[in-house]
Structure 1
Amino acid sequence: MNIVVLVKQVPDSGSSRELASDNTVDRASASNVINEMDEYAIEEALKIKEAHGGEVTVLTMGPAGATESIRKALSMGPDKAVHVTDDALHGSCAVATSKVLAAALGTLNADVIIAGAESTDGRVQVMPHMLAERLGIAALTGARKLTVEGNQLTAERQTDEGYEVVTAATPAVVSVWDTINEPRYPSFKGIMAAKKKPVQTLSLADLGISADEVGTAGATSQVLEFAKRPERSGGTKVTDEGDGGAQLVAYLTNEKFV
């Protein structure tokens, strides 16, 4: 089975994150890591390979510095990687990103495409759906469990009320939550082996996409203005002088909690 895992390099959510002067994420000065949810996607791909055989390919779109995250992903066990990188991609919106990734996926002949349900920098949760639409294949999104039987995929789709069982035939796109498994840690052997695994680099020209279709020039949305999160202020202290309960109810009512 040919499995492709989408991996995105994102600024570490545990460190300070800033926007650059053009209102795009300042990735150059950030501490960048693999998107956390994508590690669960990698693990699920490896489990499918171990159970059914085949090959796992990591697919990344990003600047040259994303190579570091590609090697980290490969150290977990995938066989190879494809890195789509081009200066013109800077500032691409989700629509343009899906176009580029779909073009790259068109060269890989995947049976199953697995992605994290969301990225910690964008958090829009639309990429798996967009890719499925562009590729004309099924999308099993928000999976907390995935079962593979021949060319049939069955997923337990996580919802606020519980889960739904959905099925589809391959090829299909699957997105996963962090409830689906526990990602393995790269071993020393895996880290060393990752240095020798093949990484194919593709440009926009290789994919037949022009520069004006992507980046800030081709974006369908843009950030017009932004403000930093306000500093946390001190809480409201209620001194009970016999009317503490009334004060508490008044506060909750004013804040629209009740």
Structure 2
Amino acid sequence: MAARGVLLLAVVVGLAVFPLPAAATEDADNATALTAAAPDAPPYSIVDGEEVAGLLPDLLTAVGEKLGVSVRFQPCQDGECRQMIEAGTVDLSGGLTPLDRESVDWLEPSYAPRSGTAFFVRADSPWRIREYGDLHGLRIAVDAEPARFPRFKADNSLDKRETGGPQESLLLLVRGEVEVVACPEAACGWYVKALRLSGRVRRCVYGHPGEGGLRLGSSRASPRAELAGEFSRALSELRDSGRLEEIRVRWLD
């Protein structure tokens, strides 16, 4: 699995009003389900074949419980998910990728703080990244230059090596093929645990903090756009009950 640095999660809701014949029961069940499309982007959405886990599946399952509907998840590629949101063929975005402001309404409350950029070195490394200047002269693995760290993204004097994601970056680090890994802190933190690298890599003092919070985005082009208020209400109830924090802690701490 590779984190693409981009997460989109989309939901389609249908409502059944009248009892249906037994032959139509399966169609009715499908119509009343939340269908969530998610790319592989740990820890927010973790795809293993047809199985999907992570913060957003847990969150949307809880939202579905509040709304009285079931949830199904359909893995998708990043660009495909984005197109679905903008076309209105799905209802909600996970909010981890830039979208045209005219295509979505961002829902409150936010479901998680926005991940910052973290830097990792080998545990036995002599390198100490305490400030930005310490990055110069080192080979840095990066899967996607952090758009929310403009200085790093624009700095062509750094020796940045593009990889397929945090997992590949961290493996290059432990093999000694790079000296530093730069990646979203939530994704890298998850992979360090998943790959059991806690004793082999260490997070540096220096990093770039995330700004603001992550919010679900409701597609304005969706035929279910009028349900945005219901999603916000369910999110607020999960926050007030403490359930939202429980989900965050499970995946982000």
- The normalised TM-score by structure 1 is 0.22
Report 1 or 2 for greater relative contact order, CA contacts < 8 Å, sequence distance ≥ 6.
2
In our comparison, the structure showing a higher alpha carbon Rg is: 1
Q: Which has the higher helix share?
A: 2
Normalising by the residue count of structure 2, what TM-score does the alignment of the two structures yield? 0.23
